[in-house]
Amino acid sequence: MRRLSLVAVAVVVGMVVWLPGVAGAQGLGIGPRFSFVRGEAASGTPSTKGVGGTLRSRSANHVAIEVALDYRSELNDDATVRHRETPLQGSLLIFPVRGTFSPYLLGGIGMYSETDQTLNPTSGLVLSTTSARKTGWHLGLGAELFVGRHAALFADYRFRFVSFGSAAEDEEAAGADPINIPGLSAIKLSHRGSMWTSGMAFYF
């Protein structure tokens, strides 16, 4: 897990550093993003919604790099616990065809940071804080629709915490869901949870 966390940090930092360098030549898109995360059925995790931003670089005609950050905050009913999540994802987007409407495949790695704060119900002051971080691969597909020369709407569906091969078999034994892709059953993919994302990118 620690090794995967270091890989995730390296990938995301590398994207952030590299994006501005290619932006001038290829186009950089910035805009808001909305996410809906489906909970895990096995663990009973509830579904959540979040808002954030996306940074997309059209590094080539059929390839784009995306770095996206979401934010979610929830307070329990008696206002004694605040739960916050800040998922950070780095993704490679592959466009088989380019046009006004462009479908794409995506894959990448994410860091999912969570913080729980215990609050004083009277004053609202923070009494204690606990934090956790998980990393994992994601796969999905989506589409981008240009509504002008410099603006595009997008939406995609992503499987989170994807495992491959023997790791997928271990995950399935632990309650993960298989990903059944026609013709790719030998890869043995599984996942824990999924998400919808949508938003708008303004290209410069």
Residue with tokens 């005609």: 61
pLDDT for 179-192, tens place per residue?
777 766 667 788 88
pLDDT confidence of residue 193: 87
Q: What is the pLDDT of residues 54-76, one digit of tens each?
A: 999 987 889 999 999 999 999 99
pTM: 0.78
pLDDT of residue 175: 67
The set of long-range contacts for 101-104, using a CB threshold of 8 Å and a minimum separation of 24, is 101/143, 101/144, 101/145, 101/146, 102/143, 102/144, 102/145, 102/146, 103/141, 103/142, 103/143, 104/64, 104/141, 104/142, 104/143, 104/144, 104/156
- Terminal-residue alpha carbon distance, the chain: 37
Whether residue 174 has pLDDT greater than 80: no
